[in-house]
Copies of this chain bind each other. A is one copy, B any other.
């Protein structure tokens, strides 16, 4: 309803049947034809910590099945994994086949999963799958998460691991990357690193990142029900993660940072069906307005995160990331 306080009436969009597009690969079509990834999560109440623990365990169990087989294959093919600790934070150091163990480069991988999911063995398995695509050593941060560790623990853990990398890497040898909530943490980490007076890395990779936790980005509305991966608001997870902190703080919503004070060269990736397309393009605009080198890639009919890695479009996306990181590492002294 339009009221005096709301002078702008909403746009009424009638019900529609949207066909599987002929404009994407057969593999992408098959993925899109599966429809919604599932019913919307039955989020626990903010103070039901045990409920959150149980939901995380149940969802992670399902996700683990999808990723661990691929990781086992990569290890069999020659990828080497070392389990490290930085203080209390587990780190999985992954060197893909064909890369010299003494290679000075490192890709700091900050995993996604709504700030609550995909830790532990999933984080490890995803890093093992990521490293061959990056073509360089990967350090994956198994940062602590809500419900037991709300903000700022996750970001503190990422910062601790970045500091540890600086002990024996030049910043020009480090690239930081993240997907979804991991993109949120990666962007926030850049602001935190800068504000702490530490040197910024060579570049940052932000795939379908959450950049504005208030969720006013327009594609949260226009692509809701069309993105088959991100099928519900993340507000319950945002509230759990923020733990009462103002979500407009740039360490939570990096879109609101001041990028004129420094930010690394950035690649941003999203899809036309992604609920986080707005979060992605808004950060792209903000970075460019501040003069930060930033490039944008948007994939046809891709929802949040693409097509589960199975489509040529996913390879195209991985190829753009590889080209970008190679170009920025190429400027260093390895």
Please report A residues at the B interface, Cβ cutoff 8 Å.
7-24, 29-30, 32-33, 35, 212, 216-219, 221-226, 228, 272-273, 277-278, 281-282, 284-285, 288-289, 295-301, 316, 320
Q: Is the CB of A284 within 8 A of B298?
A: yes
Residues in chain B near residue A23, CB distance under 8 A: 212, 216-218, 278, 282
In the complex, A9→B228 CA distance in Å? 14
7 more contacts with CB within 8 A, not counting A13-B15, A16-B224, are A11-B19, A11-B226, A12-B18, A18-B221, A23-B282, A272-B278, A295-B295
Contact at A13–B16, with CB atoms within 8 Å? yes
Taking the full assembly, how many copies of this chain does it contain?
Answer: 2
Tell me how far the C-beta of A254 lies from the nearest C-beta in chain B, rounded to whole angstroms. Answer: 15
Say which residue of B20, B218, B224 sits within 8 Å of A8 (CB atoms).
Answer: B20
For the complex of A and B, the 7 pairs showing the least CB-CB separation, nearest first, are A8-B20, A10-B17, A8-B33, A21-B218, A218-B301, A15-B15, A22-B216
CA A236 – CA B8 in complex, angstroms?
33
Separation in Å of the A196 CB from the closest CB of chain B? 29
5 interchain pairs (CB within 8 A)?
A: A8-B30, A14-B15, A23-B212, A219-B272, A277-B298
**Pairwise interchain contact A7-B33, C-beta atoms closer than 8 A:** yes
Q: A212-B23, A273-B222, A289-B316 are in contact. Are A217 and B10 (CB under 8 A)?
A: no
A273→B222 CA distance, assembly (Å)? 8
Nearest-neighbour CB distance to chain B for A268, whole angstroms, equals: 10
User: Chain B's nearest CB lies how many Å from the CB of A222?
Assistant: 5
Smallest CB gap from A1: residue in B: B17
- Which residues of chain B are within 8 angstroms of A7 by Cβ–Cβ distance? 33
A248 smallest CB distance to B (angstroms)? 12
Give min CB distance, A235 to chain B, whole Å: 15
Q: Is the CB of B13 within 8 A of A272?
A: no
A219–B19 alpha-carbon span in the complex (Å): 11
Determine the distance from Cα of A19 to Cα of B15 in the docked complex, in whole angstroms. 16
B277 touches A299 (CB 8 A): no
